[in-house]
Amino acid sequence: MRLVVFGLPLLVVILNWLWPLPLPLGLKGVAAALVVVAALYHYWSRLSSGSIFAPEFPRPVIILFNWAFGAIAFLMLFQIALDIGALLVALVTWQPVRIPVAARAAVGGLAGMLSAIGVANALRVPPVRDVSVTVPGLSPAFDGYRLVQLTDMHISRLFPARWARAVVERTNAAGADMIVVTGDFIDGSVAMRRADVAPLAGLYAPDGVLAIPGNHEYFFDYGDWMQHLSELGFHMLLNRHVVITRGGTGLVIAGVTDRSAPAHGQAAPDLAAALAGIPAGAPVVLLDHQPGDAREAVVSGVALQLSGHTHGGMIVGLDRLVARGNNGFVSGRYDVGGMTLYVSNGTGLWPGFALRLGRPSEITRFTLRAG
């Protein structure tokens, strides 16, 4: 499967697009070599750090790799469409298959432009997106309660301290009563990312900053990260909950570990443990990195689930495939048996494929309303 995924784009781009162009043979050879180098981005990433999830190159190099990788993917799709179109024209007109040089140049330019836009969209500091949620059973004392969600920051060489500092400033300016982070803080070990995550200590909300791990925390020294994030001021909800009170009434914020945890020798998500001992009648907001188990949360009486993980699918069209791997949940608000599930598009993005088209990043500000 890996051979098909990475080999097909190379074959299409080099043999179907590049080689027929009227260019000197030497220039074609150099261009083909550059295409191969770009397509092997994740291999170079592994060599740089030991993990494809943490490319340890200078930021401009990572940006260039992401642009080139995206351009190859788009060009493959456009060239296949061009080939099919030319074949259909040839069949209808009973003429040889011909693709004008101008058409090849056009799809090449379009692929490069779309990839550049996608990378630029991925790298921005997200705007605040407002979402109002009616929570059944919420006390009037909590009506208007503001909760800001960050998720999938993937702090790395691509999203460094400067970017993290800007996210913190924008989040604090949102005026939240509470800030929650639903996992995938980082890509890299504590030693690699210590300086880059340092600005996160500046996050502030009156009712605290709560968080859960995402699957990427398990890829890099999970125990060290849980300790370090706690030292930065995050209250980690590892199958646990806290109760926020207003005027004698309560709001439960619960969190679970990631469903990938058992594969790394860590505690599996345990919603029953997270909800053990909660006040009777208090509505529950659940933090769960992956949205796929939302239907189980409904059975446990959760009123609102906040998730991430999917990055919103990153690109319109690709989001349909991502949804299939997450029980149909990929971006935005869902009504799941009376429970509201919100799947954030993410604040940052994995540096191995940092493109966004039609699925913008976000800092999400929820205003809770009494039902």
Please say whether the beta carbons of 82 and 102 come within 8 A: no
List CB contacts of 371: < 8 A, sequence separation 6 or more: 134, 135, 136, 137, 138
State yes or no: pLDDT of 5 exceeds 60.
Answer: no
Bridge partner list, 341: 305, 334
Helix (H, G, I), strand (E, B) or coil at 287: strand
Tokens of 299: 């059975």
Q: At what angle do helices 190-197 and 222-231 cross, to 10 degrees?
A: 20
Please say whether the beta carbons of 193 and 159 come within 8 A: no
Percent helix, strand, coil in the chain, to 5, is 45, 20, 35
What digits encode the pLDDT tens for the residues 31-40? 999 999 999 9
* CA distance linking residue 274 with residue 61, whole number of Å: 42
List CB contacts of 62: < 8 A, sequence separation 6 or more: 55, 157, 158, 351, 354
Average pLDDT, rounded, for the chain:
94
What digits encode the pLDDT tens for the residues 221-270? 899 999 999 999 999 999 999 999 998 899 999 999 999 999 999 999 99
pTM of the model: 0.94
Tell me the longest C-alpha to C-alpha distance in the chain. Answer: 81
240-246/235-236 β-pairing: unpaired
The whole-number pLDDT of residue 247 equals 86
State yes or no: pLDDT of 4 exceeds 80.
Answer: no
State yes or no: pLDDT of 141 exceeds 80.
Answer: yes
Please say whether the beta carbons of 221 and 191 come within 8 A: no
* CA distance linking residue 363 with residue 367, whole number of Å: 13
State yes or no: pLDDT of 2 exceeds 80.
Answer: no
The whole-number pLDDT of residue 8 equals 72
- Of the pLDDT bands very low, low, confident and very high (cuts 50, 70, 90), residue 85 is confident
Q: What percent of the chain has pLDDT over 70?
A: 98
The whole-number pLDDT of residue 16 equals 87
* CA distance linking residue 306 with residue 342, whole number of Å: 5
What digits encode the pLDDT tens for the residues 254-265? 999 999 999 999
Please say whether the beta carbons of 275 and 254 come within 8 A: yes
Q: Domains of the chain by range and CATH?
A: 1-122 (no CATH), 126-368 (3.60.21.10)
State yes or no: pLDDT of 1 exceeds 80.
Answer: no
